[in-house]
């Protein structure tokens, strides 16, 4: 699959790009800097992953909206408010993914990967594990995202409609708090009981 990563030059985007490339996908890196990548070229991919900070999401998507019509757009943006990244703050639209869908009415936005740390993605020696909760209003788009999660070595689970992105995005500051509290890096999620 051809995957475009907007902000693919960043910590999270680079990790995703290298693991998906290893799984056989074609990767296009998006960047505001033409020397490092090309957001417009990334938007020509079949699946586009939004890997920019929350503060840059609206401007990035507004510019690309016509090119993202009909595409699966995986939004992993967490609306953190530095420096207080261990406290939940909901954005005006409820969730970054809901705001993305409002900016991209023709795209099939999925929220996912909010709890997958770049610390682990970027370490080629680290075997990825845990669950990735995937939400969205388009069933086929969610299935595409779940398949791509499997290609990272993780288990993707359908977590309901895009409105549930509020809960998924809000969980990241909780994990960031727990990283500090328990002196860990890159804590993630695993759902108990599915095998029972
Ligand atoms: N890091 C993690 O562990 C992690 C985990 C889950 C979710 N996330 C989410 O993933 C997204 C990226 O996180 P990151 O840690 O990879 O961030 P990052 O390294 O700080 O930035 C990612 C890229 O976004 C681009 N960018 C920066 N400011 C921008 C702006 N104002 N407008 C448009 N593009 C901008 C930059 O690329 P160019 O300069 O090349 O344009 C940068 O390389 C965030 O929304 C974050 O909440 C991160």
Q: Is 121 in the pocket of ligand 1 (CB under 6 A)?
A: no
Tell me if 117 is assigned to some domain. Answer: yes
pTM of the model: 0.98
Burial environment of residue 138 by CB neighbours within 10 A (0 to 12, 13 to 18, 19 or more): middle
Give 145 Cα–ligand 1 centroid separation in angstroms. 19
- Ligand 1 site-directed mutation target among 4, 51, 58, 178, most atoms within 8 Å of CB: 51
**For ligand 1, is residue 54 a contact (CB within 6 Å)?**
yes
pLDDT for the residue numbered 153:
97
Residue 187 domain flag: no
Evaluate the omega torsion of the peptide bond into residue 83 and state whether it is cis, within 30 degrees of 0.
yes
Q: Which residue segment(s) compose the domain that 143 sits in?
A: 2-181
Report which ligand 1 atom has the smallest distance to the Cα of 117.
Answer: 3
What tens digit of pLDDT does each residue of 28-83 get?
A: 999 999 999 999 999 999 999 999 999 999 999 999 999 999 999 999 999 998 99
Structural domain includes residue 192: no
In angstroms, rounded to a whole number, what is the distance separating the alpha carbons of residues 175 and 177? 5
Which CATH number fits the domain that encloses residue 61?
3.40.50.720
Residue 125 burial (CB count, 10 A): 5
CA of 57 to the centre of ligand 1 (A): 9
Nearest by Cα to 160 from 168, 169, 170: 168
Give, using CA atoms, the residue closest to atom 37 of ligand 1.
7
CA 113 to ligand 1: nearest atom: 6
- 196 band by pLDDT with thresholds 50, 70 and 90: confident
In-domain check, residue 186:
no
Residue 188: CB within 6 Å of ligand 1?
A: no
Measure the CA–CA gap between 62 and 86, rounded to whole angstroms. Answer: 29
Number of domains composing the chain: 1
Q: Give the tens place of pLDDT for each residue, 70-106.
A: 999 999 999 998 999 999 999 999 999 999 999 999 9
45 within a domain of the structure (yes/no): yes
Q: Measure 77 CA to ligand 1 centroid, in angstroms.
A: 8
Q: Please indicate whether residue 3, judged by its CB atom, sits closer than 6 Å to ligand 1.
A: no
The answer to whether position 189 is within a domain reads: no
pLDDT in tens, 132-152: 999 999 999 999 999 999 999
């Amino acid at each position: 699959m051809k995957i475009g990563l907007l902000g693919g030059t960043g910590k999270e985007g680079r990790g995703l790009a290298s693991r998906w490339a290893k799984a056989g996908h074609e990767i296009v890196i998006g960047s505001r800097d033409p020397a490092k990548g090309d957001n417009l070229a990334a938007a020509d991919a079949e699946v586009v992953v939004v890997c920019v900070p929350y503060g840059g999401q609206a401007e990035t998507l507004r510019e690309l909206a016509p090119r993202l019509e009909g595409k699966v757009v995986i939004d992993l943006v967490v609306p953190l408010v530095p420096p207080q990244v261990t406290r939940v703050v909901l954005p005006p639209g409820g969730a970054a993914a809901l705001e993305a869908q409002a900016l991209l009415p023709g795209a099939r936005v999925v929220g996912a990967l909010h709890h997958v740390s770049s610390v682990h993605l970027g370490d080629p020696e680290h075997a990825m594990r845990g669950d990735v909760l995937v939400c969205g209003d388009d069933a086929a788009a969610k299935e595409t995202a779940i398949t791509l999660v499997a290609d990272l070595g993780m288990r993707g689970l359908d977590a309901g409609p895009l409105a549930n992105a509020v809960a998924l995005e809000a969980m990241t500051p909780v994990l960031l708090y727990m990283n500090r509290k328990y002196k860990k890096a890159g804590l993630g999620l695993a759902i108990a009981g599915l095998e029972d």
